Amino acid sequence: MRPALLVLLVAVVSFCTAPGCLKRESAVQRGNRDQVLHRGMGADPADLDPHTATNIAEIDVTSALFEGLVAEDPLDLHPVPGVAARWDISSDLLTYTFYLRPDARWSNGRPVIATDFLASWRRVLTPSLAAENAGMLYVVQGAEAFHKGATSDFAQVGATAIDARTLRVVLEHPTPYFLSLLTHPAWLPVPIATIQAHGEAYTRGNGWTRPGRHVGNGAFALKEWRPNDKIVLEKSPTYWDAARVRLSAIHFYPIESVEAEERSFRTGQLHITYGLPFAKVDAYRRNSPALLRTDPFLNTYFFRLNVRQPTLANEKIRRALALAVDRKAIAEKLLHGGQKPATTVTPPGLLGYTPPAGTPSDPTAARALLAEAGFPGGKGLPNIELLHNTSANNRLIAEAVQEMWRRELGIDVTLLNQEYKVVLAERRAGRFQILLGDWVGDYLDPTTFLDLWRSDSGNNHTGWGNAEYDALLFSAARTADAATRAQLLQKAEALMLAAAPIVPIYANTHVFLVQPSVRGWHPTLLDHHPYKHVWLEP
């Protein structure tokens, strides 16, 4: 062999045995080195406006882009100072005075001041925005009256800017979880001037949340958003606590298919998945237990039954559907992640509250009710449609219940599968018969689940309403004695479950995959993970 050729061959071999030559560096490896977190997020968000955020994907992103008066401790989510450095609470527990930190800034450099919060809360409560979570502000004196049009004077709402850095809030009644409530996106400040620069501030979808336009006040700023592909956030240099933030960026990936998301994790493209196919949980538990997380989770899966539809307006039919579901079989044979059969909408884990007995599985009683409704053995009952979003896990649940209703009741159910954005639009418009969904608690109190079914709740979507139910919740909110309050809430939940506008299925756990390099990702009941406390270790 000629010397020159030999030298060239040695050089090539030496080069190709260098680190990274034989195997391309993965996104996770690069992220570990550069402090870039790659996270699966399930569905693509419809918008990044915190005031219209209703699903986990939207809330996960907006929690990094915005910060409220109060933030959350990463270990147990107890309230800690956010934009407000401190606060005072009156002895009657009705008046909260917040003192804003002078170095709180929007991502455009402008100071965050008390009137920013007032203008933002006014926006949430303005009916034209149609914010589903506007009811969360009803704990503030006069907020409900303003939202419902009883007054057009926002000065009647119990929120006042004493000066640029002092904000006073007066509540309608004592609310023990008020500080935790303030971390919800409905309470976050938004840059009204920026929104108005791109259109009407009090309607949806004017485009202010797009890259190049977006202004937030959180630990991260929006860099890129390619729908159905990727959302990129970068560390914000204007954030008041930027020195604590260790991640340089977060890349969110909307992957509705849990199978595709698991493959992305397996090939080193994701640090954290949103979920995991039910069928693969046991395999990870056996073969890669260090990658599998099954965290406690304040989350219930259920069906919404649209009582505005002629068939489902009949309470006996709704109750028959609820009684015919074998929840134990679903939890034990399909889920594999420690989920529990749910007979109530409130899941276990809420201190001081024991749910009522709820809806059992009783096919015999279900058949009797269906016969009383005029459809023995399902004969003559019109076909029913069940809508669910594009997810293999959700499809398995829908198919299982479809078969239960066929076998036990003789009912024909057609499954409709749509993208998550479409499902949300259909839900909001009431264009469904039965809808598979879930609810994750916003705070650690049963009302985070029970307020959903008030007649005026923007998240109800069933068309069901009951004056007695509303009155029980009203009384409970104004009852100081914890035991009496719990009894009122139990009575309300039992009333709602008996009417069956929903069919509880299971109390969930969060089953997902996480790379060993992720630090600061603690198990929390609400599945919140303040990103300023997360980092990566190669």
**pLDDT reported for residue 22:** 52
- Domains of the chain (ranges, CATH numbers): 27-40+211-292+511-536 (3.40.190.10), 50-197 (3.90.76.10), 297-510 (3.10.105.10)
Q: Is the pLDDT of residue 21 over 70?
A: no
List residues bridging with 384 in a β-sheet.
413
**pLDDT reported for residue 349:** 80
Say how far apart CA 241 and CA 220 lie, in whole Å.
11
Q: Is the pLDDT of residue 93 over 80?
A: yes
Q: Is the pLDDT of residue 351 over 90?
A: no
* Least confident span in 11-20, 46-55, 101-110, 411-420: 11-20
**pLDDT reported for residue 148:** 96
Q: Which two tokens stand for residue 505?
A: 């299925």
Closest CA to 209 of 52, 347, 354, 328: 52
Closest CA to 436 of 383, 389, 391, 382: 389
Q: Is the pLDDT of residue 269 over 90?
A: yes
- 3-state DSSP call for residue 287? helix
For residue 299, give every residue at least 6 positions away whose Cβ sits within 8 Å of its Cβ, in sequence order, or none: 347, 438, 439, 440, 441, 507, 508, 510, 527
Q: What is the pLDDT confidence band of residue 17, given thresholds at 50, 70 and 90? A: very low
Question: Packing angle between helix 467-477 and helix 482-499, nearest 10 degrees?
Answer: 160
What tens digit of pLDDT does each residue of 202-253 get? 999 889 999 999 999 999 999 999 999 999 999 999 999 999 999 999 999 9
DSSP string, 216-268: --SSEEEEEEETTTEEEEEE-TT-TTGGG---SEEEEE----HHHHHHHHHTT
Quick one: how many helices (H) and strands (E) in the chain?
A: 17, 18
Mean pLDDT, to the nearest integer, of 337-344? 96
Secondary structure in 3-state letters for 430-468: CCCCEEEEEEECCCCCCHHHHHHHCCCCCCCCCCCCCHH
For residue 226, give every residue at least 6 positions away whose Cβ sits within 8 Å of its Cβ, in sequence order, or none: none
Q: Is the pLDDT of residue 1 over 50?
A: no
Percent of the chain with pLDDT over 90: 91
Q: Is the pLDDT of residue 437 over 80?
A: yes
Closest CA to 31 of 535, 392, 384: 535
Model pTM score: 0.91
Say how far apart CA 384 and CA 312 lie, in whole Å.
9
For residue 201, give every residue at least 6 positions away whose Cβ sits within 8 Å of its Cβ, in sequence order, or none: 123, 192, 195
Question: Packing angle between helix 392-409 and helix 258-266, nearest 10 degrees?
Answer: 150
What tens digit of pLDDT does each residue of 384-428 get? 999 999 889 999 999 999 999 999 999 999 999 999 889 999 999
Burial readout 210-227 (b: 16 or more C-beta within 10 A, e: otherwise): eeeebbbbbbbbbbebee
Q: Is the pLDDT of residue 18 over 80?
A: no
Mean pLDDT, to the nearest integer, of 256-270? 96
* Least confident span in 11-20, 31-40, 143-152, 505-514: 11-20
**pLDDT reported for residue 428:** 92
Say how far apart CA 426 and CA 115 lie, in whole Å.
36
**pLDDT reported for residue 406:** 97
**pLDDT reported for residue 19:** 45
What tens digit of pLDDT does each residue of 118-146 get? 999 999 999 999 999 999 999 999 999 99
Q: Is the pLDDT of residue 194 over 60?
A: yes
Q: Is the pLDDT of residue 370 over 60?
A: yes
Q: What is the pLDDT confidence band of residue 348, given thresholds at 50, 70 and 90? A: confident
**pLDDT reported for residue 20:** 45
Say how far apart CA 472 and CA 487 lie, in whole Å.
10
Q: How many CB atoms lie within 10 A of CB 242?
A: 14
**pLDDT reported for residue 55:** 87
Mean per-residue pLDDT of the chain: 94
